[in-house]
Structure 1
Amino acid sequence: MRFTRRHPLLTAVLLCALAVLAARPADGDGPHAPGHGSVSGISAEVARLYEEAATATERYEDGRREAERQRARAHRLEERLDRERRETAGLREDLGRIASSQYRDGGGLPLTAHMLLADDPDELMRGQRAVQQAEVSLDRAIDRSERAEARLARDEARAAAAWRRLEKRNAELADLRQGIEAKLEAARWKLQGQADASVAAGACRGAVRLDQPETRFTSRWVAPVETYELSASYGSGGARWANRHTGQDFAVPIGTPVRAVGTGEVVKVSCSGAFGIEIVVRHAGGYHTQYAHLAAVAVDQGDRVTPGQWIGQSGTSGNSTGPHLHFEVRVTPEMGSAVDPVPWLARHGVSL
C-alpha cells in the first residue's frame, strides 16, 4: 500500500503494462513461436503441404499419362502382332495351295517325264521356274513374317511389363498423395481455427514470412490465385451482402497461397469485421486491391510487394459461407469505391 501511495504514476504505468501483457497471445501462440501449434508453424506447414500435394499430384498425373502411353503402345503392338500372325497364316495357306496344285498337275512325276509328255517343253520349264520362284518368295516372306512376329511379341511383352510397373508405381503415388492431402486438410482447419480466434479478438497475429517458390513472372499483372473456380461475381445479389457483391470470389481451399496481382504497397492489414482477415494493396495509378476472408497474412502494413508474391493464405474468416478468396479492385482504400475486377484485370492482361 505504501508503494501505491508514494508512486501513483508508476503504479498506473505498471498496471497498463500488465494489461498489455495479458492481452498479448501466449508464447506458444505468437507469430514466431516455435512448435507445431503456432500460427507461423501451421501457416508454414500448410504452405509446405500445399506444395507437396501439388508436386505429388503432378508426379501422379505424369505417371498416369506415361502409363496410358505405355498401355496404348502395348495395345498397338498387340494389334500389329495379330495382323502379322494372320499374314503368316495366309502365306502358309498360299504355300499349301502351290504344293497342292503341283501335286494335282503331276508333281509326283520326274521333270524329265514332264518334258517328254509336254507339248511345249520350253513353256513347261518357264512354268517350273515360276513355281519355284513363287515357293522361294513365299518361304522368304514366311521367314520374315515369323521374325517380325517374334520381335513384335518381345516388344509387346516389354511394353505390357512397363505398363504394369507404371500402374504399380502410380498406385503408390496415389496413396502418397492421399496421405499428404489428409494431413493438409487437417492443417488447413487448424489454421482456420487460429484465424477465427484472431477475428474474434479483433487483433492480427502478425505476418508469417512464408518460404516462397522461385517464380519469374514475365507479365506485370497476375491472377490473385493460381488454380481456382470463379464463384460469386461483382454486382451479384444475395442475403449475405447489404447491397450488391462488391468483388469477385475465387473458390479455393483453405491455405491456398494468395498472390499480389501487381507491384504495390500494403496499406492495410485488418483482422476484424465482415471481411475477416484482409489485406489492401495500393498500386500505381491510384487503384487498390483487396484480398479478404484470409486464414493468414504473410505481409505487414508498409511492405512493398511484387507481382505473384505470396501475401497471405486463403480461408473463410469473417462473413463467409465457405473457403474462398474475396478479391476487390477499388479507386480508394476504403469500401464503397469498388469497380468490377474482372474487366479491370483483363485490361491489365489477366484473363480469368
Structure 2
Amino acid sequence: MRSYRRHRLLVPVLLCALAVLAARPTAADRRHGSRGAGDSGVSAEVARLYEEAAVATQQYETGRKRAEAQRARAQRAEKLLDRQRRHIAGLHEDLGRIARAQYRGSGGLPVAAQMILAGSPEDLMRGQHAFSQADLAVNNAIAKSRRAETRLAADEAEAAAQWQALDRRNTQLARLKAGIERKLETARTRLQRQADASVAAGACRGAVRLDEPETGFTTAWVAPVETYELSASFGSGGSRWASRHTGQDFAVPIGTPVRAVGTGRVERVSCGGPFGIEIVLKHAGGYYTQYAHLASVAVDQGQHVRPGQWIGQSGTTGNSTGPHLHFETRVTPEMGSAVNPVSWLEERGVTL
C-alpha cells in the first residue's frame, strides 16, 4: 500500500522577502579543487528555488482558501438580501390586507371617513388612535426592512469586492508559482546532468555547502526527506534488483534536500555503481544509514552531522528509473546487512 505524509506548513512570508539560499565555499571545497563555481551554483539555485516554490505554493493555497471563504460570504449575503426582499414584498401585501380589513370592519367606510363622520369626540379619538397605531407599525416595519436591505446590499457588495480582489491576487500568485516551478525544473535538469557526469567519471565533485533554513528539531530522529510519497518498500521484489529491495524508496523531485535522520558521522561519500552518488552515515549503537541515487552531496567524509541536517540533494543517478531517494539502514557500512528501515525509524519515534 502506498503511504503519504505531508510536511509542516512553512511560516507565511512575503515572496519578496524570501531568503536567498547561496552556496558557501569551504576549506574542504578548496581541497577538492575539482568543482567549479558553476557546480556549486546550480545546487544552491535548486535549493533556493525549492524553498521559494514551497513558500509560493503555501501562499497560493492560503489565498485560494481565503478567496473561497470570501466568495461564500458574498453568496450568504445575497441569500439574506433575497429573503429581506421577500419580507418587504410580504409587508406590502399586509398593507393591502389591513386596508381591506379596516374597510370591512367599519361598515364599508375607510378609517379616515369614520373619523370624519364620528358622532362624538371619544369616537374620533379612538378612530384616530387606531389609525395612527396601524400606520406607525407598518411604517416602522417598512423602514426597518429597508435599512436592513441597504445594509445587506452594502455587505454583499463589500464581500464580492473582497472576493474579486483576493481572486486577482491569487491569479498573480499562481503565475508567480508557475514561473518559479519552471525555473526550478530547468535548474533540476542541469543539476542531474552534472550528477550523471560525476557518476560516469566515477569521481564525486565534492561537498556543495548549502544554507539551510532554521529547523529547530527537538527530536533525536527525523525522516530523511520532508515531503514525500513512499514507493518501493523494503523486501519487495522486482526485475531491478538481484533478489529483494534492500531499502525504502521516497519518491521526491530532483534537488529535494536530503536530511540526516539522526546524529552521526559521514562514513562514506561515493559516486558510481548501482547506487550512483551515495552517502553512508554511522550512528550510535552500531547502525548505519545509506542515502543513494543523489544529485549532489553537502558533507565530507568524516564530518559529524546533526538530526535534520541537509547532507545532499535527491536525484536519479545509478540504477534508478526516476527521481527518488533510496534509504537503507544497516548493521555494517556495506550492502547485505540491511534491516527494515521503516521499522527501524518507527522504533525511534519516526512514523512514515
Unaligned runs of 5+ in 1: 1-28
Answer yes or no: is 1:85 the counterpart of 2:89: no
Answer yes or no: is 1:111 the counterpart of 2:148: no
Answer yes or no: is 1:288 the counterpart of 2:288: yes
- Work out whether residues 270 and 279 of structure 2, in 8 Å CA contact, stay in contact via their aligned partners in 1: yes
- Work out whether residues 115 and 127 of structure 2, in 8 Å CA contact, stay in contact via their aligned partners in 1: no
Judged with a 3 Å threshold, the aligned counterparts in structure 2 of structure 1 residues 326 and 135 are, in CA distance, closer, same or farther, namely same
The amino acid that maps onto 1:198 is: S
The amino acid that maps onto 1:338 is: A
The amino acid that maps onto 1:210 is: L
Residue matched to 1:191: 191
Judged with a 3 Å threshold, the aligned counterparts in structure 2 of structure 1 residues 131 and 340 are, in CA distance, closer, same or farther, namely farther
Distance, in Å, in 1 between the alignment partners of 2:119 and 2:34 is 112
Residue matched to 2:169: 169
Residue matched to 1:319: 319
Once the two structures are TM-superposed, the CA of residue 58 in structure 1 deviates from its matched residue by 1.1
Residue matched to 2:153: 153
Residue matched to 1:102: 102
Unaligned runs of 5+ in 2: 1-32
The aligned runs of 1:200-349 (5 Å cut-off) are: 200-349=200-349
Q: Deviations over 1:332-352 (max 9, x none)?
A: 111111111111111111111
Once the two structures are TM-superposed, the CA of residue 109 in structure 1 deviates from its matched residue by 2.0
Size of the aligned set, in residue pairs, is 315
The aligned runs of 1:49-64 (5 Å cut-off) are: 49-64=49-64
CA RMSD of aligned residues (A): 1.9
Q: Looking at CA atoms only, which structure, 1 or 2, has the larger radius of gyration?
A: 1
Q: Deviations over 1:155-213 (max 9, x none)?
A: 11111111111111111111111111111101101100110111111110000000101
Once the two structures are TM-superposed, the CA of residue 129 in structure 1 deviates from its matched residue by 4.6
- Work out whether residues 115 and 128 of structure 2, in 8 Å CA contact, stay in contact via their aligned partners in 1: no
Once the two structures are TM-superposed, the CA of residue 217 in structure 1 deviates from its matched residue by 1.1
- Please report the TM-score for the alignment, with normalisation by the length of structure 1: 0.85
Q: Deviations over 1:58-115 (max 9, x none)?
A: 1111111111111111111111111111112112221221123223432152326355
Judged with a 3 Å threshold, the aligned counterparts in structure 2 of structure 1 residues 132 and 246 are, in CA distance, closer, same or farther, namely same
Once the two structures are TM-superposed, the CA of residue 138 in structure 1 deviates from its matched residue by 2.5
- Work out whether residues 289 and 327 of structure 2, in 8 Å CA contact, stay in contact via their aligned partners in 1: yes
Q: Deviations over 1:105-131 (max 9, x none)?
A: 321523263557xxxx88x97787556
- Work out whether residues 267 and 280 of structure 2, in 8 Å CA contact, stay in contact via their aligned partners in 1: yes
Q: Identity of aligned pairs, percent?
A: 70
Judged with a 3 Å threshold, the aligned counterparts in structure 2 of structure 1 residues 148 and 325 are, in CA distance, closer, same or farther, namely same
Judged with a 3 Å threshold, the aligned counterparts in structure 2 of structure 1 residues 259 and 130 are, in CA distance, closer, same or farther, namely farther
Moved more, 199-208 or 165-174: 165-174
Once the two structures are TM-superposed, the CA of residue 133 in structure 1 deviates from its matched residue by 2.9
Q: Deviations over 1:2-32 (max 9, x none)?
A: xxxxxxxxxxxxxxxxxxxxxxxxxxx943x
Distance, in Å, in 1 between the alignment partners of 2:133 and 2:70 is 42
- Work out whether residues 98 and 135 of structure 1, in 8 Å CA contact, stay in contact via their aligned partners in 2: no
Distance, in Å, in 2 between the alignment partners of 1:349 and 1:115 is 96
Distance, in Å, in 1 between the alignment partners of 2:347 and 2:119 is 95
SS in structure 2 at match of 1:293: strand
The amino acid that maps onto 1:53 is: A
SS in structure 1 at match of 2:117: helix
The amino acid that maps onto 1:308 is: G
Once the two structures are TM-superposed, the CA of residue 282 in structure 1 deviates from its matched residue by 1.1
Residue matched to 1:19: none
